[in-house]
Structure 1
């Protein structure tokens, strides 16, 4: 009788205790861009075109920034709209823009001593950037105004695939693991990488991509959950709070993420 009770309880746990994530379509827009780097809660789009021009497009206005010397933008992080960072990997350089896309700071890692060969950049708190030092194979929190490294993490043994952050956390995806650090540089969590290639992050959720499938690590949760969504070509994806954006080079679709 006791065994039967535990079996029933176990079945109930697996049937009702497992959370699921569903993506429900909210809106779609015909849109053409080379790379989309962000969409804020007001619908402001940050993206680039084939001529390497960086755009900030609101409902009312569109403003642009172009750096003809540096050309191709590898990544852009508009998490802090007052300090947008553009990374030009070919030139080992970061440009910081204000909310009018005026240049307010330039970090040329080629001229910094000791020299840094940087492969990934993301936003930190205050006047800092999370940078991955390719030569040392380690993540660093770099203070670009004072030109010094505030902290370093332990070197990793596998190739880094993606880097995302906000003021409180930094997520580093490598071929072997997903590492989550706090702003002190302490390792908070570590997950085995089961085929994840890239990720998107907002203050609510971390979304991971494996081929044409998406997975969600919700805030304050420890389990990575599969996202149920239409079978679409996912060239690019973004997340803003609980809204998921999927772009297929022609249409930008907007989905509501819901844990069930």
Structure 2
């Protein structure tokens, strides 16, 4: 019996060590020297989005576009998943600006002037001429139709604060202040995706994957596989990061470094 206990303890310790030491080694591809304040990300066409002196820029190898609106203050959120309909959110003025692919302003939505009381705390581009909106007055998530100027709530009111959120055309995902991860689809169905680790910065990947940083280190957590990886061989002095299509972009004071990573 004693031998069995010792053997079990040894195997348990061995499994624990391997679980703790799972690593993903990033392979450096290129370094881009950029004088920017905030790195936003790259789209599928390779366009770079960033902020410098609170001016929003879009840049590729041939052209540079910019959008500036000093009167609205600091840019809080940028959504460029639809390159023909880019969204800028200015939280201090409860206002959303929509831009075309050359960063020309196409629409300005001041929710403080709306007939329906809305204080926008979270937002993103949704499908069918709509915006995802989390209304902090009612603590509900819904759709704002920016052509009809109407709002439709799709969730009941819920407690807790949004620590982080992201959205695509069909899904709005958020993490509350207790590190619970949720998602709601366009029909209002709420899914509990799991409990996640504490983080400084975070980005949702595909399915149940999350990339996050904590205390200057980068990690990948896969809730489906119950696995946890440390991402190594990246600059640890990063300000923020962005992941898309197996390319991990790290932003530091020196610029942007792109790495190739292979997810197990």
TMscore range, shorter length: 0.7 to 0.9
- How do 1:118-197 residues align onto structure 2 when only pairs under 5 Å count? 118-176=120-178, 177-197=180-200
Match of 1:94 among 96, 99, 102: 96
Partner of 2:241: 237
How many angstroms does 1:130 deviate by? Answer: 1.7
Alpha carbons of structure 1 residues 185 and 242: separation in structure 2 relative to 1, 3 Å: farther
Q: Secondary structure at the residue paired with 1:55?
A: strand
Q: Secondary structure at the residue paired with 1:69?
A: helix
Residues 124-182 of structure 1: CA distance to partner in whole angstroms, max 9, x if unpaired?
Answer: 12212222222223322322222223343243432212221112322212221121222
How many angstroms does 1:203 deviate by? Answer: 5.7
Q: Give TM-score scaled by structure 1 length.
A: 0.84
Q: Give TM-score scaled by structure 2 length.
A: 0.83
Partner of 1:209: 213
List runs of 5+ in structure 2 lacking aligned partners: none
The aligned length equals 255
Paired with 2:246 and 2:41, the residues of 1 have a C-alpha distance of 14
The answer to whether the 8 A contact 1:36-1:47 is kept is: yes
How many angstroms does 1:215 deviate by? Answer: 3.1
The answer to whether the 8 A contact 1:161-1:198 is kept is: no
Partner of 1:25: 28
The answer to whether the 8 A contact 2:217-2:236 is kept is: no
